Structure 1
Amino acid sequence: MTPKAMDAPAAVFRVADAWRGAWMGPSLFRRGGSTLHYVGPSSAADSAGVVDLPGVLLPGFTDHHVHLKLLPADALEPLAAGGLSRVIDLGGDPSTLAVLAEPDPFAAALEFAGAFLTAPGGYPSDRAWAPAGSSREVASADDAELAVAEQLAAGASRIKIALNASAGPVWDDALLAEVVAEIRAAGLPVVAHVEGAGQAARAIEAGVDVLAHAPFTEALPDAVITQAVAQGQRWVSTLAIHEPADQEIAIENVRAFRAAGGELLYGSDLGNGEQPLGLNPHELTALADAGLDETAVLRALVGGFGRGRWKKRVTWMPDRPVAITDMADAVSLSVGDLEAAGR
């Protein structure tokens, strides 16, 4: 097939079902350039000029935590075949990620945070798995300003900071506040890796927007979780990467976070250990174990309520999922190549 993006001909498509925060039943969509627009319910009378597509359509799925430089060089195309329309790299050399992020109609779209910003000698600067350029040590407020500017210049859409007291030094509260302020001044959201006693609470107190992992080293007090939810903080799941004891802590924290109204995002930490290039059925199973139903998992996959993310790539499935793990059968298709659905 030959995916198209901007020059695809206008067309109206009919599908047996579509998900937009809820299942809509038989639906019509109109393609305009690289965007698919929901028209409304379909009936048997809709036939003239309508292209019938098998299966069901959903917004593009996102893995909100990957590390592309720990994967094969050509991983973005198989990620689309594995059901991902977009991936967010949360720690890698910004210059190489900027090249990988160039649009490719065959591949999943890439957004990235650039290098981990960390304390001198902090995680992951001393880790053998961390490629050169994947961390940037920050020793002062002036250094933070420069480090943020470097990631921004490379095209970072968010900035990731490391607060891993289990693996090395972390900033004191004053410098943490300065780093977060510099990222805010650049207009970017702040993502934090938190690990070790008290580090999640510090990130929440500092106003971090997203935790790169659901906290897994300690059960968080209700007051801390309530504060995170009140601030609109979101957590990326990454439940399946943990050993059983840490996974159980993370799952319990997720249950409490969601009960308080918190929003979870699907993320696998792809590149960490052996994982499929695409949706990970083990992560989907862990989300179900944490109490997420089908709607909650789909919201975690699309990063919201499903009324957006119909641009450039969308999700196609042969049928509505019966079980949450059926979502691993999804395929990402270019909006310009919808006619290939099911082939």
Structure 2
Amino acid sequence: MLRATFFDGERWREGVVGLGRDGRPELRDEIPEPGSPALRGRIVGGFTDHHVHLQLVDHALLASSRLGRVVDLGGDPSTVASIAVHNAGELADGGGAGADSRTVGPDSPELRTVRYAGAFLTPPGGYPSDRAWAPAGSVREIADPAGAAAAVAEMAASGASCIKIASNSTAGPVFADDLFRTIVERAAAHGLPVVAHAEGPGEAQRVVRLGATRLAHAPFTERLDDQEIAAQAARASWISTLAVHDPDSQAIAIDNVARFHAAGGIVRYGTDMGNGPTPVDLNSAEVAALRAAGLDDDALLRALAPTDPLLRPALLLLLPDGSADPLTARPLTPADLKV
């Protein structure tokens, strides 16, 4: 066994790493023996992309990526649920017969690699109901409280972990305040937070005041003033998606994120995967934009929310160059454990 430094999601800790019974590297939360040799490099779990659209990419590529978890924020709920089950099955069977004595069930952290919101909830004619890229079944147009209750119940029954509301005033109608609040209340009754796509003047500010606790995109329509930044930092987290914008919108978003992060706001790494030619893996352009917004190595790792490395299968090695640059990460292999 080798002494190993690993990131538990919040801080760096010490443990040991060796080969498990299946011949794959296994990290253990144990105190290293004095004088034991050290692993060259540091260990993290697979990273999280908090904003993807799996129906718009080749989701089979996730298996060979450095992503241990993704959150689909808009798709046909039955299709995305099937994709989630497919990925869970790959992980459950990946170790081979007798690979692990632990019970792996539907609630195991190992299997929670695909989380999803299900369909976009939007007013009649609202974004993205008229978009050619929106897959069949990926939009629910809601006109009244009864429709809101039915749509939220449908997403909850499909296994959604959050509810996605589209609030894009530049592309069509948005929900009135009362109906938006109703959706938030119905989601809360099912134990589900609301993620909002907020676009257009004042929309990022409005949706958070109405109860959304996460923005699907860091605000990019306009520069938020410092008072609003402080209010957002206290009430919501932001998913970055900085690299998908044109230069002007990206500059606005980076400035907002820099001040939001400095105010103690929670920034989550997300790429809007499927929006254009995005990789099904870590996105170097998104990482660079987050660094431009002032996130250092440890803040960037928190934004990437790596899965718990003590729960296999995804173990990544950060190369021993003195930094914690996630772009250096690669799968930890048995060859890395040879002294």
* TM-score by shorter chain over 0.5: yes
The Cα shift of 1:298 comes to 0.4
Residue of structure 2 in register with 1:61 after alignment:
47
1:70 is aligned to 2:56? yes
1:247 is aligned to 2:250? yes
CA distance in 2, matches of 1:321, 1:193: 38
Residue of structure 2 in register with 1:87 after alignment:
70
> Is this contact kept in 2: 1:197–1:218, CA < 8 A?
yes
Residue of structure 2 in register with 1:8 after alignment:
none
Equivalent position SS for 1:240: helix
What does residue range 248-287 of structure 1 map to in structure 2 within 5 Å? 248-287=251-290
**Structure 1 residues 176, 255: CA separation in 2 closer, same or farther (over 3 Å shift)?**
same
**Structure 1 residues 321, 117: CA separation in 2 closer, same or farther (over 3 Å shift)?**
farther
> Is this contact kept in 1: 2:168–2:200, CA < 8 A?
yes
1:292 is aligned to 2:295? yes
Equivalent position SS for 1:284: helix
Equivalent position SS for 1:216: coil
CA distance in 2, matches of 1:119, 1:125: 9
CA distance in 2, matches of 1:255, 1:113: 27
> Is this contact kept in 2: 1:94–1:133, CA < 8 A?
yes
Residue of structure 2 in register with 1:225 after alignment:
229
> Is this contact kept in 2: 1:117–1:161, CA < 8 A?
yes
The Cα shift of 1:59 comes to 3.0
1:98 is aligned to 2:81? yes
Amino acid at match of 1:277: V
Deviations 1:173-200 (A, max 9, x none): 1111111111111101110100000101
Greater CA deviation, 84-93 or 270-279? 270-279
CA distance in 2, matches of 1:29, 1:39: 9
CA distance in 2, matches of 1:184, 1:108: 21
The Cα shift of 1:228 comes to 1.6
CA distance in 1, matches of 2:172, 2:211: 22
> Is this contact kept in 2: 1:82–1:328, CA < 8 A?
no
CA distance in 2, matches of 1:219, 1:342: 49
Residue of structure 2 in register with 1:43 after alignment:
34
1:27 is aligned to 2:15? yes
Equivalent position SS for 2:253: helix
Q: What is the aligned-residue identity percentage?
A: 46
**Structure 1 residues 229, 318: CA separation in 2 closer, same or farther (over 3 Å shift)?**
closer
Residue of structure 2 in register with 1:10 after alignment:
none
Deviations 1:119-177 (A, max 9, x none): 11101110011111111111111111100111111111111100100111001111111
1:183 counterpart (187, 193, 196): 187
Amino acid at match of 1:60: G
Deviations 1:6-42 (A, max 9, x none): xxxxxxx535432233444x63259799995422355
The Cα shift of 1:258 comes to 1.0
**Structure 1 residues 323, 289: CA separation in 2 closer, same or farther (over 3 Å shift)?**
farther
CA distance in 1, matches of 2:69, 2:326: 16
The Cα shift of 1:45 comes to 4.3
Output the TM-score relative to the length of structure 1. 0.83
Deviations 1:66-120 (A, max 9, x none): 000001252332xxx2210011100000000111111121598211110011111
What does residue range 100-119 of structure 1 map to in structure 2 within 5 Å? 100-102=83-85, 103=88, 104-105=90-91, 109-119=113-123
Residue of structure 2 in register with 1:327 after alignment:
326
> Is this contact kept in 2: 1:83–1:329, CA < 8 A?
no
**Structure 2 stretches lacking a partner, 5+ long:** 95-110
> Is this contact kept in 2: 1:313–1:332, CA < 8 A?
no
Residue of structure 2 in register with 1:174 after alignment:
178
**Structure 1 residues 289, 62: CA separation in 2 closer, same or farther (over 3 Å shift)?**
same
**Structure 1 residues 277, 144: CA separation in 2 closer, same or farther (over 3 Å shift)?**
same
Q: How many residues align?
A: 313
> Is this contact kept in 2: 1:55–1:316, CA < 8 A?
no
Output the TM-score relative to the length of structure 2. 0.84
Amino acid at match of 1:290: A
CA distance in 2, matches of 1:148, 1:275: 29
**Structure 1 residues 234, 309: CA separation in 2 closer, same or farther (over 3 Å shift)?**
farther
